[in-house]
Copies of this chain bind each other. A is one copy, B any other.
């Protein structure tokens, strides 16, 4: 273990904060679809009852609670993708800034500089989140600016080194607009001769990118492969994802995990994956900031390594 930014592997359990946050975000789902105030109230009541039941059933980590609740709300609403329109808007906005960012990064002379700049953009893209109560995403044009200006906590340099040494990289994507900006990282790594795979969701989870949006977002232009988890879970739950995804995670030299839910989940299975993981995220809530040991709102790169030979 080389630095303070590498962790021995842990598990992100539920914080109390997750309860009001998840109730709030699930009610926001309801508000997207239902206009009638009586029906909204009824559904809000069903959501709190479901939260209570899931807690009593022993669910004790944020991504599993979020997954079950999001599925519950989709069933109640009989809607398979609540954020379809929001995702289309996000995707268009991100596509409008992608060429400028991509061109800027391409213009940098040194490989490590290019990888670091692409990582910064990937972190900043995680600000485009609709799944955190009390948090409003900035307009995408601010993302571009902040990507290169904002302080990044953690192991930016170490993450870049790991990626420069890797031959095969899997990027586990998060939100839809963010995924468009992750293309810059795909472009850079491929230009350096690496094989880069984008892992997207099979079904809708909040505003996360699914295989349905991958073409529109241009992922096929920036990654060697785009694969679906085959699931609508908040992250790549190993007991749920397709065999293709399992084999991609197994064969990757480094896994890049975008966003809070992937951080929350993958810390559960870091040891089983037994390879370097790079978490790129904005620490939007108190529990995540506390787990990462950074101030709330920080742009963060967290590197996990099972073995000092990787660092």
Contact = CB atoms under 8 A, between A and B. Distances in A.
Interface string A255-274: 00000000000000000000
Residue among A16, A24, A41 having the largest count of chain B Cβ atoms under 10 Å:
A16
Interface stretch (A42-50, A98-106, A111-119): A42-50
A19 B15 contact: no
A177 to B, nearest CB: 23
Interface in A37-80: 37, 40-45, 47-49, 51-52, 55-56
B52 A45 contact: yes
Interface residues of A, number: 29
B19 A23 contact: yes
Contacts of A55: 45, 48
Contact of A45 (B13, B19, B31): B19
Given A16-B41, A16-B44, A41-B16, A24 B24 contact: yes
Given A15-B37, A16-B30, A23 B48 contact: yes
Given A45-B52, A52-B49, A20 B16 contact: no
Contact of A24 (B20, B40, B41, B43): B20
A195 B199 CA distance: 71
Contacts of A13: 41
Contacts of A30: 16
Nearest to A55: B45
Contacts of A41: 13-16, 18-19
Contacts of A51: 48
Contacts of A42: 16
A296 B45 CA distance: 24
Contacts of A27: 16-17, 19-20
Given A24-B24, A52-B52, A19 B47 contact: yes
Contacts of A56: 45, 49
A153 B269 CA distance: 55
Interface of A: 13-20, 23-24, 27, 30-31, 37, 40-45, 47-49, 51-52, 55-56, 133-134
- Which 8 pairs across A and B sit closest by C-beta, in order of nearness? A16-B40, A16-B44, A19-B44, A20-B24, A16-B41, A49-B52, A20-B23, A45-B55
30 contacts: A13-B41, A14-B41, A15-B41, A16-B31, A16-B37, A16-B41, A16-B42, A16-B43, A16-B44, A17-B27, A17-B40, A17-B44, A19-B27, A19-B41, A19-B44, A19-B45, A19-B47, A20-B23, A20-B27, A20-B44, A20-B133, A23-B24, A23-B48, A24-B133, A48-B52, A48-B55, A49-B52, A49-B56, A52-B52, A133-B134
